[in-house]
Amino acid sequence: MLTNSKDVVQPQRLDYLDSVRGIAAMMVVVYHFIGWHWADYTKFHVASMVFNGADAVSFFFVLSGFVLSYKYFHSDREIRMGNYIYKRILRLYPAFIFTVLINYLYWNKDALMAGDFLPIVKDIFWINGQQLWEELAMVRLAHKFYIPGWTMGVEMALSLIVPVLVYAGRQNIKMIWWVIPIAIIMGNYLSLFAVHFALGMLLSYYYPRIKAYDFSKSKYWKYRYLIGLLVFSLYSIRHIKRIIPFGSTFDYIMGYLKVDLFHFTGIASAAILLFIINNERTQKFLTNGLWLFLGKISYSVYLAHWLIVVHVMKYWEHYISLFPNYYFGFSCLLIIVILTTIICATLMYYFIEKPFIYLAKKYQLFI
């Protein structure tokens, strides 16, 4: 039975982190657009080092580990697993289910336009021949219609272990440190992105020390640009490898150590987040109204953009022919995709996300 939630003192909300998520979501939009027909071009890989939507997922997972554990590490808030799961389901599933259904209908639009409603209805509610229900349930590898949905399954699964790790971390923070090597060794049985969540949780735990640290007085200050270049290289390493192959020896060592390139992008993502937490000037920039708004609708941006990009790319030759030259058309279509995504994401946020966010905040399952 649902009951009104009790007032609980919350730690300070870090709005600038929402803005970072919004910027990362927009990078995903640009990345999927420019990578659709041009993934084999060196120019694409160079551009992807800036608009690195492919590795924004690493940043999302590190950020999730931080955000989901932050309120528990910096308050005496009791961890109620039932309420936690209930809130995560209401936060992730409604908009995700809507997205998958819209994509499903789009890919079956020819049958629907031909009036073949009955086969579609039978497939949805009885046959399940297109495995819609597996995708709606975030079953691993079942992402036929909304392909980026694989990340949502990882997000949901790993976010459910955060309370357990928080409890362990409260007892001894070394327990979370140990998650990193264990997750690397057991990557085939767990998830390589468990490393990312653990990194985010460590940043959350050490947040007060990170925020108070004066890097300008550190002995590493004089190497700040070199460190920045290293972080950028680690974050872009998957694209660098596609431009300049590292060779079979590198691949053998990586395989032997069970290290994935996503581990490097996770470390780089943690370093970027560490910098943001420590740098007030960057935080001030990120609290601009535009970035905050993009942060607010970032989840819907991630969900809504895919079908828009798919549609434009499916009819690319037609759309690009409407413009006087190719590059001008490319730029205009990219802008149209971005603006359309923002509009759709805004509607999705206010009509789907926000009502369920309100429901999750207003009610709890267990007192």
Rounded Cα distance between 37 and 317, Å, is 11
Q: Is residue 187 part of a domain?
A: no
Q: Is residue 293 part of a domain?
A: yes
Q: Per the structure, how many domains does the chain have? A: 1
Query: For residue 33, what pLDDT band results from cuts at 50, 70 and 90?
Result: very high
Rounded Cα distance between 199 and 64, Å, is 10
Q: Is residue 350 part of a domain?
A: yes
Contact 71, 204 (CB under 8 A): no
Q: What pLDDT, on a 0 to 100 scale, did the predictor assign at position 42? A: 67
Q: Is residue 66 part of a domain?
A: yes
> Does residue 256 have a pLDDT over 90?
no
Rounded Cα distance between 148 and 207, Å, is 31
Q: What pLDDT, on a 0 to 100 scale, did the predictor assign at position 40? A: 64
Residue 327: Cβ-neighbour burial (10 angstroms; 0-12, 13-18, 19+): exposed
Query: What pLDDT, in 10s, does the model give residues 268-284?
Result: 999 999 999 999 999 99
Q: What pLDDT, on a 0 to 100 scale, did the predictor assign at position 307? A: 97
Q: What pLDDT, on a 0 to 100 scale, did the predictor assign at position 5? A: 43
Mean pLDDT rounded to a whole number for the chain: 90
Q: Is residue 168 part of a domain?
A: yes
Rounded Cα distance between 8 and 367, Å, is 12
Range of the domain at 160: 15-78+147-179+193-245+260-354
Rounded Cα distance between 25 and 138, Å, is 20
Q: Is residue 6 part of a domain?
A: no
| 1 three-state secondary structure | coil
Q: What pLDDT, on a 0 to 100 scale, did the predictor assign at position 41? A: 65
Q: Which residue has the higher pLDDT, 50 or 239?
A: 239
Q: Is residue 217 part of a domain?
A: yes
Query: What pLDDT, in 10s, does the model give residues 121-173?
Result: 898 888 888 999 999 999 888 889 999 999 999 999 999 999 999 999 999 99
Q: What pLDDT, on a 0 to 100 scale, did the predictor assign at position 11? A: 67
Q: Is residue 125 part of a domain?
A: no
**Mean pLDDT highest for which of 104-113, 237-246, 340-349, 353-362?**
340-349
Query: What pLDDT, in 10s, does the model give residues 157-213?
Result: 999 999 999 999 999 999 999 999 998 888 767 788 999 999 999 999 999 999 999
Q: Which residue has the higher pLDDT, 45 or 75?
A: 75
